[in-house]
Structure 1
Amino acid sequence: MYLSRVEVDTNNRAKIKDLTHLGAYHNWVEQSFPDEIAANQRTRHLWRIDQLGGKKYLLVLSENQPDKERLEHYGVAGTAMVKSYDQFLDRIQTGQVFQFRLVANPTYAVTKAGETKHQIFPHVTVEQQRGWLMKKADKNGFAIVTNPAVDTDDGIFSPLAFDIVDRQYQILHRNKNKSGRQVKLSQVTFEGLLQVTDADVFRNALTHGIGREKAFGMGMMTVIPEG
């Protein structure tokens, strides 16, 4: 696996004029792997957009190395960085504590009586979105760290060590959308502390993503060791 990053050239409006929706970013990522396109063998690519220090970055996790020149198509020249992710993944152990950042699309499914197909709806409240992550944690080999109990006016409580740092709706134009309408996807950014409960399952979550809409900038979690 490879983890890549490039700074988006936000100061060059002519250069990035096409980046108006998630589908355009998806296409940028896909075009960064010309060997896969030529071989007609596409592998999974997780990606997201991060805002750090007043700059905007495209972050990509992939099985194969991207072409740096293609990766910088909408980026600042010379800012593309590609590094192997395998050694980091191999060192993950059950019980480790990490700081995490996850950009995701929290949703739930509803199946109407008498029907087999279900409809997908976004979680809209902070409480619902936090609950979604707690459920996903159990299935993805980690648990949210709990802070030491502290005294409050209402008694003693143990708050979970994570928060929602950004909530917004992103625009996506789906080519297969027969109506031709744009779609709005709920995008939520979580940050906090987690503890690995099953290293193998957790590695799978890091490399395969969490939740829906992974092709469109959702589901990618990154972690760094705490302390």
Structure 2
Amino acid sequence: MYLSRVEIDTQNRQKIKELTHLGAYHNWVEQSFPDEITQGDRKRHLWRLDQLASKNYLLVLSENKPDAGQLEKYGVSGTATTKSYDQLLDTIKTGDTMRFRLTANPSYAAPRPGQKRGQVYPYVTIAQQRQWLNKKAQKAGFKLVWQQPSIDEMDGFVFDVVSRDYPTLHRKAGRSVRLSRVVFEGLLQVQDLTAFKATLVEGLGREKAFGMGLMTVIPKV
């Protein structure tokens, strides 16, 4: 597995004029793996958009290395980097406490009369979104760290929602929808190592093809 990052060239409006919706970013990611396209062996790629120190980045987790030139198609020249993700995975142990960042689509499916598949609805309040992550944690191989709550902490959780928005996705047949996108940050403890590694590699929640589900971690120091 490989983790890649490139700074998005937001200062060049001509260069990024196509990046108006999540589907455009999805296409950017997919086109960054030309060998997979040629061989007809498309892999699942997790990705998300990050903002750090007033700069915007595209982060991609993939089984194969992306083509650096394609990855920089809408990026700042020379900023594309790719590192082995397996090296990080190999260092994680059960019981480790880690800082995490997760961009996700907290949602649920409600039954529809006469339909096999339920209607998907987003969780809209911060409390609901936090509860969603807490419920997902056990099956995903981790628990959210608790401590005595302070003024700046809610419910004793050492994690919070740091960003929420509703970016547009243009689906087929000209139909557009807005997806709920939530960024969580905080502390977790690894409980089930196999399940946790699977979460890091496979993502968490819905809409993984459109910039949701990618969790990254670093050791707590």
Q: Same fold per TM (> 0.5)? A: yes
Letter of the 2:52 counterpart: L
Unaligned ranges ≥5, structure 1 = none
2:40 paired residue number: 40
- Structure 1 stretches of 4+ with a deviation exceeding 6 A read none
Q: Over aligned residues, Cα RMSD in angstroms?
A: 1.4
Q: Deviations over 1:47-76 (max 9, x none)?
A: 000000000000000000000000000000
Unaligned ranges ≥5, structure 2 = none
Q: Distance in 2 between matches of 1:49 and 1:216?
A: 10
Structure 2 residue 219 is matched with structure 1 residue 201 = no
TM-score, normalised with respect to structure 1: 0.93
Q: Deviations over 1:75-131 (max 9, x none)?
A: 000000001110110121110000000000000010135543211000001111001
3-state secondary structure, aligned to 2:101:
strand
Q: Distance in 1 between matches of 2:191 and 2:97?
A: 10
Letter of the 1:145 counterpart: V
1:140 paired residue number: 140
1:84 paired residue number: 84
Q: Distance in 2 between matches of 1:25 and 1:56?
A: 13
The offset of 1:218, in angstroms, is 0.2
Q: Distance in 2 between matches of 1:110 and 1:27?
A: 30
2:4 paired residue number: 4
Letter of the 2:161 counterpart: I
User: Contact 2:169/2:179 (CA < 8 Å) preserved in 1?
Assistant: yes
Structure 2 residue 42 is matched with structure 1 residue 13 = no
1:60 paired residue number: 60
Q: Distance in 1 between matches of 2:114 and 2:171?
A: 29
User: Contact 2:149/2:157 (CA < 8 Å) preserved in 1?
Assistant: no
User: Contact 2:48/2:212 (CA < 8 Å) preserved in 1?
Assistant: yes
Q: Distance in 1 between matches of 2:167 and 2:141?
A: 28
TM-score, normalised with respect to structure 2: 0.96
1:220 paired residue number: 214
Structure 2 residue 158 is matched with structure 1 residue 164 = no
Identity of aligned residues (%): 62
CA pair 158-81 structure 1, distance change in 2 beyond 3 A:
same
Letter of the 2:202 counterpart: H
Bigger-Rg structure (1/2): 1
CA pair 14-115 structure 1, distance change in 2 beyond 3 A:
closer
What aligned pairs does 1:95-134 form with structure 2 within 5 A after superposition?
95-113=95-113, 115-134=115-134
Structure 2 residue 186 is matched with structure 1 residue 189 = no
